[in-house]
Amino acid sequence: MTTTETLIIGAGLTGLTAAYELHKAGKPFLLIEARDRIGGRILTSRTDGGAALELGATWLGKKHQELISLLSELGIGVFEQVTGGRAIYEAISTSPPQVVQLPHNDEPSYRIAGGSEMFIRELRSKILSTSVRLDEAVLALKGTPDYVEVTTAKGVYHAGIVISTLPPHLFTSKIQVSPALPSQLLNIAQQTHTWMGESIKVGLRYAKPFWREDGAPGGTIFSNVGPVSEMYDHTNIEESKYALKGFLNSAYHSLTREERRDMVLTQLRKYFGDVVDDYLAYEEGVWRQEPYTFVPYASHVLPHQHNGHPIFRDTYLDGRLLLAGSETAVVYPGYMDGAVRSGKRVALLV
Ligand SMILES: Cc1cc2nc3c(=O)[nH]c(=O)nc-3n(C[C@H](O)[C@H](O)[C@H](O)COP(=O)(O)OP(=O)(O)OC[C@H]3O[C@@H](n4cnc5c(N)ncnc54)[C@H](O)[C@@H]3O)c2cc1C
């Protein structure tokens, strides 16, 4: 049995931000993560040293002030998403795809220099490596007058304060809490959407950016026909490694990886020809298959439903259990900015 003043559940962006803030404040903590990696819904794939493919969070805007401020504090840059000014647009299956001019965008999107993973790696590098434990799922919390007993797959901890950074639906589905949490909280958490939890991201690395060549339509794709609904140029900031990355209709989660890859290639061949088959690597993130992100809902929930609900700002287990995570943030819930805000807010309560 290990004793700690504060135990943070989940080493996603919220958990790592909270840990970083506690570290700066000189307050001890332990961060327990179920997966064998940090980052949660931030996942950058770097196979073969090619372009870093974001299989999770990718874009931010200038409006995401807390996120931008933390990135700048850590010395991490951002760069504008390339659109090329044009897009391939497929309105209906009975009409051929068209190339359309994109209107001027007053609020461009930005990507994190070096990949979103740089952000979480940098946060982790600031805290003691002994305060992070990976591959250890939290299973149960039991409130007592003096501490919370935390049972994980590997042991038992006594913590003065426990911070959950799991999406509320996941937290209340997977972690058994006693005494039981109030039914109002359970009902709302069970109907709180986990942002992007159902999504499928696909990416293809290429040796050359054929979509950027003279006369080529560019790498921006919007399709109502699918199966890829949106795709973007995913070249690195140095413009030396090339990729296309987009979203696949989430209904295809039950197909095999090869079936999804073939569907993506078939669609891209329509726009660019056989050159799409010369890919160096195909990568995908099927988030619905990730048990530490997604659990099925008992009833239909709408995107962002109940995100930022005030009930998540109450404390539980006699003030010893605090709820955090991007979906609990009041501002930009579900996004990286919400995760940073939530991590900072909860660290101040400890
Ligand atoms: C495909 C996709 C695309 C996205 N695109 C964008 C984007 O472009 N811009 C943007 O701003 N946001 C985007 N997001 C959302 C963004 O990723 C999240 O808002 C943010 O990463 C959430 O961080 P978090 O720490 O709150 O939650 P999570 O990242 O979900 O972290 C929770 C952590 O808890 C861990 N965990 C789960 N169960 C247990 C357990 N029982 N015990 C211990 N640990 C556990 C998980 O493994 C995880 O590490 C995207 C998300 C996805 C999936």
Q: Which tokens in the block code for residue 246?
A: 């987009």
pLDDT at position 81 is 95
**Which domain does 281 fall in, by range?**
45-63+78-115+198-289
- CA–CA gap between residue 21 and residue 29 (Å, rounded): 11
CB 202 within 8 A of CB 260: yes
Of the candidates 293, 297, 301, 348, the residue with the CA atom closest to the CA atom of residue 326? 293
How many A from CA of 104 to the centre of ligand 1?
31
Contacts 24+ apart (CB under 8 A), 99-106: 99/217, 99/218, 102/220
- pLDDT tens digits for range 178-236: 999 999 999 999 999 999 999 999 999 999 999 999 889 999 999 999 999 999 999 99
Residues with a CB atom less than 6 Å from ligand 1: 9-15, 32-35, 40-42, 56-60, 137-138, 165-167, 170, 174-175, 195-196, 199, 201, 285, 287, 292-293, 325-326, 334-336, 338-339
First and final C-alpha spacing in the chain: 22
Q: Quick check: is 71 in a domain?
A: no
211 shares its domain with 283 = yes
- For the chain, the domain total comes to 2
Q: Ligand 1: which atom is nearest the Cα of residue 67? A: 11
Token look-up 């001019």 returns: 101
Amino acid letter, residue 140: A
Q: Are residues 36 and 148 in the same domain?
A: yes
The answer to whether the bond into 179 is cis (omega within 30° of 0) is yes
Please write the tens of the pLDDT for every residue from 292-310.
999 999 999 999 999 999 9
Mutate to test the pocket of ligand 1, among 8, 21, 41 (most ligand atoms within 8 A of CB): 41
Residue 4, in any domain of the structure: yes
Q: Which of 60, 166, 331 to mutate to test the pocket of ligand 1 (most atoms within 8 A of CB)?
A: 166
Closest residue CA from atom 14 of ligand 1: 57
Chain-centroid distance, C-alpha 333 = 12
Residues 232, 191: one domain? no
pLDDT tens digits for range 52-111: 999 999 999 999 999 999 999 999 999 999 988 899 999 999 989 999 999 888 899 999
Residue 68 counted as domain residue:
no
Whether 191 and 217 share a structural domain: no
Tokens representing residue 241 in the block: 């490694």
The residue contributing the CA closest to ligand 1 atom 38 is 292
The alpha carbon of 123 and the centre of ligand 1 are apart by a number of angstroms equal to 15
> How do 59-60 and 53-54 pair as beta strands?
unpaired
> What single letter denotes the amino acid at residue 3?
T
CA of 240 to the centre of ligand 1 (A): 29
pLDDT digits (tens, 9 = 90+) for 310-330: 999 999 999 999 999 999 999
Whether this model's pTM surpasses 0.95: yes
Do 204 and 248 contact (CB within 8 A), yes or no? no
The CATH number that applies at residue 10 is: 3.50.50.60
